[in-house]
Amino acid sequence: MNLVDVLSGSKETVLAEALRALERARLPHYEEAGTEVSRRRLEELFALVTRCLGERNLAPICQHSETVAAERYAAGFGIAEVQAAFNVLEESIWRVVVPQVPPKALIEATGLVGTVLGAGKDALARKWVSMASAQHVPTLDLSALFAGTHS
């Protein structure tokens, strides 16, 4: 069975489960945005995952992730909030893929999904860190860990 077909056929299940998980996480900016916006964002990410899988091309999710990082950073989101959206979608995808993909194809399927979402999360984190390191950010100030190391 084709992985993209499995995911496409289970789109509503994946999105509904991911949205419930996102709501349970009680992330401030996602709660503020509301269910409709959160679902639309998850749906867009899901579409990118299936597109990248179908095309065997990571560029679309990497570009999207960099854009999302810039937008969410500017809006004051924490990186953990945005990464959580990727994570809940990934978990929901696994719950569909594992039982539906034949065991012989499961290793490849998990590798493909993991690669696409991993590339997206990596691009998001790299962009986020580059933006955060361009200005003083208290959460990145590690100097307090080294207090008293100079005599």
Spatial CA neighbour of 84 closest among 42, 52, 49:
42
Give the number of residues written for the chain.
151
- H-only helix segments in 26-150: 28-33, 35-55, 59-74, 79-100, 103-132
User: How far, in Å, CA of 113 to CA of 107, rounded?
Assistant: 10
pLDDT (average), residues 82-102: 94
User: How far, in Å, CA of 95 to CA of 89, rounded?
Assistant: 10
Burial of 68-94, coded b for 16+ CB within 10 Å and e otherwise, reads bbeebbeeebebebbebbbbbbbebbe
pLDDT averaged over the chain?
Answer: 88
- pLDDT (0 to 100) of residue 143: 54
The class level of CATH for 3-134 reads mainly alpha
- Burial class for 101, CB neighbours closer than 10 Å (0-12, 13-18, 19+): buried
Are 35 and 78 a contacting pair, CB within 8 Å?
no
- pLDDT (0 to 100) of residue 144: 53
Domain ranges of the chain: 3-134
- pLDDT (0 to 100) of residue 90: 95
Residue 117 has pLDDT above 80, yes or no: yes
> 């809940």: which residue's tokens?
88
Phi, psi of 95 (to 5 degrees): -65, -20
